């Protein structure tokens, strides 16, 4: 499968910066092409597209501190019709994810896609970070609203003691296409002055939505300036292009098949003559021939 690129000069990218002499840290990302790719892969309806898009964007914002092979997973499970959202982001600005029911579409609320209604307002948000240690770091909080951005802000404050403001947005056209997607995260660093915090709170209260800013042609760099203000004297640390990226391979999904066991494999062989395995994260499917299944059965019987 191939998916449309978001265009050479308009690539989805992420910008990281510090400001106010190190008192704040900000990250902004545009994910329009990436969320459109997720929609095409998973055939999501608009409300599900927005929920998945916000979570994918959040994954990239939280993953900026990862290194090497580290990965970060966000799980959002609420009592709404969507079921759950699972997103995994890596250290090199790649992210993948899916929603349990991509067909969910609800009537708009206050002119916005009702992500909170789709996710549900009762549930949990869990973030796990595989940092290459024996055990992954896992933090979990109850959902605040199911709108994802507020839930992430609450998670950061309650679970990681990181005061921050998060904004996420996905704008979907009448035909379901993703017009704009992106987000930002502003973090107050330890030791920040009360006057800095007050000033930022006031700025954020009057801030336009992310999709409004993107629709007006603002880049992630512009959004950072808008959010932090000129007096923050932002210093850009780095910029990276972001991608929908899955780590599945034919070999990795083969393990899933093997785990079915001899009897199930023999059934498949008899009934289908082959086996098809679909990756939840990217919806790519892999077909294994009858001959491969026979070899698998043989190996399992010998072991």
Which residues are at the interface with Zn ion (CB under 5 A)?
Answer: 246, 248, 279, 281-282
In angstroms, what is the minimal distance from the CB of 126 to Zn ion?
Answer: 21
Instruction: Report, in Å, the least distance between residue 73 CB and Zn ion.
Output: 14
Cβ proximity to Zn ion: between 203 and 245 the closer is 245
Residue with smaller CB distance to Zn ion, 18 or 246: 246
User: Which residue is it, tokens 């979990």?
Assistant: 140
54, β-bridge pairs:
none
Phi and psi at 135, nearest 5°, equal -115, 140
d(CA 15, CA 27): 6
Q: How far apart are CA 116 and CA 76, in angstroms?
A: 11
Which of 30, 39 has the CB closer to Zn ion? Answer: 39
8 Å CB contact between 62 and 73: no
Q: Smallest distance, Å, CB 246 to Zn ion?
A: 3
Pick the closer one to Zn ion by CB: 184 or 281: 281
* Residue with Cβ nearer Zn ion (27 or 87): 87
Q: What contacts 178, CB < 8 A, 6 or more positions away?
A: 32, 35, 36, 39, 49, 53, 170, 171, 172
Give the whole-angstrom CA distance, residue 155 versus residue 166: 11
| Residue 168 C-beta: closest distance to Zn ion, Å | 23
When the beta carbons of 200 and 279 are compared against Zn ion, the nearer one is: 279
Q: Which residue has the tokens 């970060």?
A: 72
What's the closest the beta carbon of residue 252 comes to Zn ion, in angstroms?
A: 9
Q: What share of the chain is helix, strand, coil (3-state, %, to 5)?
A: 35, 30, 35
Least separation, in Å, of the C-beta of 248 and Zn ion?
Answer: 3
């Amino acid at each position: 499968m191939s998916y449309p690129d978001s265009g050479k000069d308009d690539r989805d990218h992420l910008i990281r910066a510090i400001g106010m002499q190190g008192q704040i840290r900000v990250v902004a990302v545009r994910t329009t092409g990436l969320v459109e790719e997720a929609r095409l892969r998973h055939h999501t309806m608009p409300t599900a597209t927005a929920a998945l898009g916000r979570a994918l964007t959040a994954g990239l914002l939280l993953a900026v501190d990862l290194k090497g092979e580290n990965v970060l997973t966000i799980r959002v499970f609420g009592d709404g019709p969507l079921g759950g959202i699972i997103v995994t982001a890596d250290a090199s600005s790649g992210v993948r994810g899916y929603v349990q029911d991509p067909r969910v579409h609800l009537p708009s609320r206050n002119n916005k896609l009702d992500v909170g209604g789709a996710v549900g307002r009762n549930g949990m948000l869990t973030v796990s970070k595989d940092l290459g240690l024996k055990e992954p770091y896992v933090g979990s909080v109850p959902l605040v609203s199911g709108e994802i951005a507020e839930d992430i802000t609450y998670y950061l404050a309650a679970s990681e003691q990181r005061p921050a403001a998060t904004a996420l947005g996905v704008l979907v056209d009448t035909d379901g296409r993703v017009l704009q997607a992106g987000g930002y995260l502003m973090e107050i660093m330890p030791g920040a002055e009360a006057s800095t915090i007050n000033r930022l709170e006031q700025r954020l209260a009057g801030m336009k939505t992310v999709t409004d800013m993107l629709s007006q042609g603002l880049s992630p760099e512009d959004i950072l300036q808008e959010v932090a203000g000129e007096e923050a004297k932002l210093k850009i640390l780095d910029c990276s292009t972001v991608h929908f990226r899955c780590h599945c391979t034919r070999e990795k999904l083969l393990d899933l098949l093997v785990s079915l066991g001899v009897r199930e494999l023999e059934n498949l062989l008899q009934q289908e003559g082959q086996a098809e395995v679909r990756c939840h994260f990217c919806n790519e499917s892999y077909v294994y021939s009858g001959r491969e299944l026979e070899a698998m059965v043989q190996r399992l019987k010998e072991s």
